[in-house]
Structure 1
């Protein structure tokens, strides 16, 4: 079955999740270091205020934080972390599938190009995606998504002994007591 967006859906651009646990807050869209400046420039061109936080870092020593950042994250515009700033929710013109259009679709981050694939062994489809929920599988036209995922995976390869994850401090009001902010060393 061929993957395609469900009519009127923009869910993947709106809903953010806690990852890997609530302690880390809601995550943003993964941005590779070489994408960061381009995304910041696209925000300026579109007259958008964006927040890009670190996401994953590495270090040789485990006590003072990362010495190199492997990935950043573009945060959502809502207080709870939801809704990509590049999602055009104010236009009357809809995307080809009837959802809200992306202001930077042709220049979107690799992570957006990868969706609905999830990095796992084996690679699987995100079951939060409405298409994946309804159909359970897709075995056609995912070549560009696989290629994008492999590019991201290659950038995450490291020999550094310490991996750090950034806690965003962002989430639902009811979860604020569990959410932390700043770098946390993975155990």
Structure 2
């Protein structure tokens, strides 16, 4: 079966998840360092306020904060971290799949281009995606998504050092006491 977005669905642009646990808060859309400036310029061009935080960094020593950032994250504009700021909820227009349109669709981040593929071993479909829930798999039409995911994975390879994740402290109000903020050394 060929992958296609489900009519009226924009769920992947709206719902953000806690990752790798609630302690870290909700994550935003993964932005590679070379994409960050372009996304910031697109926000200015579209008169949209955005928030980009670090996501993954590396350091040479365990007791020092990251000296290199491997990835950033574009946070949702709602207080709980949901809804991509580039999702067009006001125009009344529809995207080609019948959901809400993206204001930067042709210039969207690689992570958006890779969806519904997720970074796992082996590469898998995100089971939170409505298409994936309904059909279980997609046998074709995912070449550009695979290419995008492989580019992201290539950039995430850290030759040496310690890997850090950035805790956003963004999420649902009832989770505030669980969540942390700032860099947390990833346990190995």
Q: Indicate the TM-score class for this superposition, using the shorter chain for normalisation.
A: over 0.9
Corresponding position of 1:106: 106
- What CA distance in whole angstroms lies between the structure 2 residues aligned with 1:29 and 1:63? 28
Match of 1:167 in 2: 167
**Partner in structure 2 of residue 50 of structure 1:** 50
**CA–CA distance in 2 between the matches of 1:154 and 1:58?**
15
Deviating above 4 A after TM superposition, structure 1's stretches of 4 or more consecutive aligned residues are none
Cα distance in 2, alignment partners of residues 167 and 160 from structure 1: 22
Give the aligned partner of residue 185 of structure 1.
185
Instruction: Give the paired residue count.
Output: 187
- 1:115 maps onto 2:115 in alignment: yes
1:93 Cα deviation after fit: 1.1
The residue that corresponds to 1:75 in the other structure is 75
C-alpha RMSD over aligned residues: 0.5
Q: Distance in 1 between matches of 2:131 and 2:33?
A: 30
SS at match of 1:179: coil
Q: Hey, what's the Cα distance between the residues in 2 that align with 1:98 and 1:141?
A: 19
Paired residue secondary structure (2:23):
helix
1:141 aligned onto 2:165: no
What's the CA shift string for 1:36-89, capped at 9, x where partnerless?
A: 000000000000000000000001011121000000000000000000000000
Indicate the SS of the match to 1:113: helix
Where 2:3 maps in the other structure, the secondary structure is: coil
TM-score where L is the length of structure 1: 0.99
- With normalisation by structure 2, the TM-score equals 0.98
Unaligned runs of 5+ in 1: none
Deviation at 1:161, TM superposition (A): 2.3
Partner SS, residue 92 of structure 1 = coil
